[in-house]
Structure 1
Amino acid sequence: MSTSLISSDRLSAMQNFGTDPGSLSADIYIPENFPKNGPLVVVLHGSTQSAESYNLGSGWSTLADECGMALLFPGQRLTNNLLGSFNWFETGDSERGDGEPLSIRQMIKQVVDDHTVDPSRVFITGMSSGGAMTSVMLATYPEVFAGGAIIAGLPYRSANNMMEAIIRMNGFGSPSDNALDASVREASESRGPWPTISVWHGGSDTTVDSSNAGDIVGQWQKIHNVEGPPTHVETVDSIPRKVWCDADGRVVIEEYIIEAMGHGTPISAGGDEGLGEEGEYMLEVGISSTRHIADFWGLTESGAETGAKTETAA
């Protein structure tokens, strides 16, 4: 059955995508130049945001027009969470086959089927609670995603209730890397291949402490068998980028810590390659996480030319 659409600004509401046990909303954007077997990017907003506001700030639909990618924006309802946050810390909303993760999985399947998306090129990103829910989706449905990007988020299973979530957001009491690794391995029956991981965080974030970025990296290092210091460190738009390469030289984890930045999504709105619009939790810092994440995934012209940065030298 074809998806039913209702226009709303740049995005269109998707009405039919399965049983929706998490009671989420769904919006999509399919550019006119979207090719058969093109890629899909799933974008998860942060607390107090909507799909539309996050799209406006991050510039994803502008980049979709440029590069020919489909976009899916799952949305939280205030009836589920008064701040509009994804419930990444609730047991019923952080496991495979249940709650919000299953709703998002069903949305993805509907978009893949309706718009002839290449199922091997499905990616996911999110900021804050959306970043933490990105961690949930990558752990519980790793076979669905080629890559994920977690912005100002937290690792999977770092908290199991609201009180623990607040403590972890403040940078205290995170489980060990071994426990975090085990959480991912136990979240599904997958044994790989595993999605690549991009981590972005403000070094001056007082809402979600930047130590969580290191915990996310640590969670996935064992999964990708790239423990230890980064393979390579370079500078991108004046920001240090750490990369971890696997035995074949492919970059499987990257990390950007933007020291002077607080809580939000890093954007660069000016210039010929500018994307997005500055606003609450959309922080103009001279680097576009949207563009660089898409580069990393090989979705842009520059990303495709460099093999999605998979040949970075050690």
Structure 2
Amino acid sequence: MSRIARRFAALLAGALLLVPGVVAATPASAAGLTQVTGFGSNPGSLNMYSYLPANLPSNAPLVLALHGCTQSANDYYSHSGWPKIADTYEFAVVFPEQPSLLNPINNCFDWGTPSNDSRGQGEALSVYQMVQYAETNYHVNPSRIYITGLSAGAGMTADLLADYPDVFAAGSIDSGPAAQCSTSGITNSNCTSGSVSQTPQQWGDLIRNSDSGYTGPYPRVAIWQGSADTTVNPAEMTYNMDGWTNVWGISQTPSSTQSLTGGTTESSYNDSTGKPAVQTYSVSGMTHGLAVDPGSGADQCGTTSTYYLASICSSYYTAKFFGLDQTGTVPTLPAPTGLAVTGTTSGSVSLSWGAVSGAASYDVYRNGTLVNASAVTGTAYTDSGLTAGTGYSYAVAAVDASGSIGAQSAAVNATTTAAALCFTDNNYNQTVAGRAYQSGGYTYANGSNQNMGLWNLAVTHTLKETSANYYVIADGQC
């Protein structure tokens, strides 16, 4: 391949993979990897390949694994380590494949064009149709669908988690841009260089707007990044973390950190139950690629190659984050729907939500912390003792008779009203100021009509405005 052709390929990839020696992707043909045709209308013109461990049980989990630019389904199957982990924990793996983009060299998933990376459109819909095919033909568990991807595949993974939060239980973004960063194609290098810096709210809004009518819980998200990556700036890990912690309504400060093998730092951002909702993995000194750790150990996987870099078996730790190494990880009850703020005062917020079948009670969370001291058996709750003029975030989870806590609802925000105003003055001045009125020589508070005594300069009271133009006598209370 000529130097000109290589440079053209790299430019088309939008610097997502800077290719030192591009090798055209080869068809998936390894033993155990099977191509599936006729899985749907396939508007994105993708290929579908599946790996099914022997004796795959019914209701098994499903992982979708998306390759990076210049790669193929077979390439990802051969080097990522997912087949070994699928054999160990007995789940199905689907490897979507982008056969070409603009020319047959790049093989990049189009994470930057709305017609391809939006819910119900293009490549995004093609991947969703693969999920539907697996649910029907492999009998996988619809509540345990996961997705992971590298580089351009990571960009598409981030978009799909935002597009289909009702489909994916969790996902892993490996060396990729933040969800829905670009609307002008994958050549938008601003989304890989770290130069598009936004607030957590703005990153979160991009996720929320991907499926604006969605009110349920969001997927849990793992984010992997090499600290020496010059193709996807390490700042993108922070942007991804900011967006996903924001939609979860949790802090951008880690709940805990720990050191893993391969110079990897794991940071956990926990939900209100203490379970990581978002987890980042920074691999010290690693450049652009997927972290692998060849070997026969239980925590080792993959083989090294271009963009498969020896340090840590990211697929193994991602599987653990997904909960694929455990049983009973799916909440027994679904998330309540219809959570709404029904009223606010200066010191309280009132909430209501839809009933969940099988729920014995409900837990209410304020800013990620459980607030009800006793069981809430109905579908309404008033949180009191709050600070006036302050914003709060709320979520609700159903609890069954055994005490098992279900999935949390989507968060809603509420702001308490400003503190009540107090005015101390004589009765004459209170009426002049419009807070009271006089009748028959006596003074009465507006709204409450409380008798304040004679209408003169000698009698003084404190009036508290509890709502617009409604005053009560509050002597000694303000």
Would the TM-score normalized by the shorter structure come out above 0.5?
yes
Query: Does residue 87 of the first structure (1) align with residue 110 of the second (2)?
Result: yes
Contact 1:135 1:150 in 2 (8 A): yes
Q: Secondary structure in 1 aligned to 2:137? A: helix
Please name the residue that 1:311 is paired with.
none
Please name the residue that 1:232 is paired with.
256
Please name the residue that 2:76 is paired with.
54
Please name the residue that 1:200 is paired with.
224
Please name the residue that 2:124 is paired with.
101
Q: Secondary structure in 1 aligned to 2:224? A: strand
Q: Secondary structure in 1 aligned to 2:143? A: strand
Q: Deviations over 1:37-83 (max 9, x none)?
A: 00000000000000111111111112111211100011002255541
- Normalised by the length of structure 2, the TM-score is 0.60
Please name the residue that 1:117 is paired with.
140
- Counterpart among 286, 290, 300 of residue 261 in structure 1: 286
- Structure 1 window deviating more from structure 2 (167-176 vs 89-98): it is 167-176
Q: Secondary structure in 2 aligned to 1:71? A: strand
Contact 1:132 1:155 in 2 (8 A): yes
AA aligned opposite 1:235: S
Instruction: State the Cα distance separating 1:162 from its structure 2 match.
Output: 3.8
- Counterpart among 260, 266, 272 of residue 241 in structure 1: 266
Instruction: State the Cα distance separating 1:24 from its structure 2 match.
Output: 0.4
Please name the residue that 1:277 is paired with.
303
Q: Secondary structure in 1 aligned to 2:188? A: helix
Please name the residue that 2:159 is paired with.
136
Query: Does residue 222 of the first structure (1) align with residue 246 of the second (2)?
Result: yes
Please name the residue that 2:355 is paired with.
none
Q: Percent identity?
A: 32
- Consecutive unaligned residues of structure 1, counting only runs of 5 or more, are 1-5, 309-314
Query: Does residue 186 of the first structure (1) align with residue 183 of the second (2)?
Result: no
Instruction: State the Cα distance separating 1:14 from its structure 2 match.
Output: 0.6
Q: Deviations over 1:137-194 (max 9, x none)?
A: 0000011011000000111121111476212212212443222211111111222211
Q: Deviations over 1:14-50 (max 9, x none)?
A: 1011110001000001111311100000000000000
In structure 2, relative to structure 1, the CA distance for the partners of 1:111 and 1:7 (3 Å cut) is: farther
Please name the residue that 1:28 is paired with.
50
Please name the residue that 2:453 is paired with.
none
Q: Secondary structure in 1 aligned to 2:141? A: strand
- Consecutive unaligned residues of structure 2, counting only runs of 5 or more, are 1-27, 331-478
Query: Does residue 73 of the first structure (1) align with residue 99 of the second (2)?
Result: no
> Which whole-Å CA distance do the structure 2 matches of 1:205 and 1:167 have between them?
15
AA aligned opposite 2:256: H
Contact 2:241 2:252 in 1 (8 A): no
Q: Secondary structure in 2 aligned to 1:38? A: coil
Q: Deviations over 1:106-129 (max 9, x none)?
A: 011001110110000000000000
How many equivalent pairs are there? 299
AA aligned opposite 2:49: D
> Which whole-Å CA distance do the structure 1 matches of 2:328 and 2:235 have between them?
30
- Structure 1 window deviating more from structure 2 (81-90 vs 137-146): it is 81-90
- Normalised by the length of structure 1, the TM-score is 0.91
- Counterpart among 13, 22, 43 of residue 35 in structure 2: 13
Instruction: State the Cα distance separating 1:91 from its structure 2 match.
Output: 1.6
Please name the residue that 2:427 is paired with.
none
> Which whole-Å CA distance do the structure 2 matches of 1:174 and 1:20 have between them?
34
AA aligned opposite 1:22: G
> Which whole-Å CA distance do the structure 1 matches of 2:186 and 2:164 have between them?
26
AA aligned opposite 2:319: A
Q: Deviations over 1:77-96 (max 9, x none)?
A: 22555411001001211211
Name the structure where strand makes up a greater proportion of residues: 2
Contact 1:158 1:165 in 2 (8 A): no
- Structure 1 window deviating more from structure 2 (144-153 vs 29-38): it is 29-38
Q: Secondary structure in 1 aligned to 2:177? A: coil
- Structure 1 window deviating more from structure 2 (156-165 vs 134-143): it is 156-165
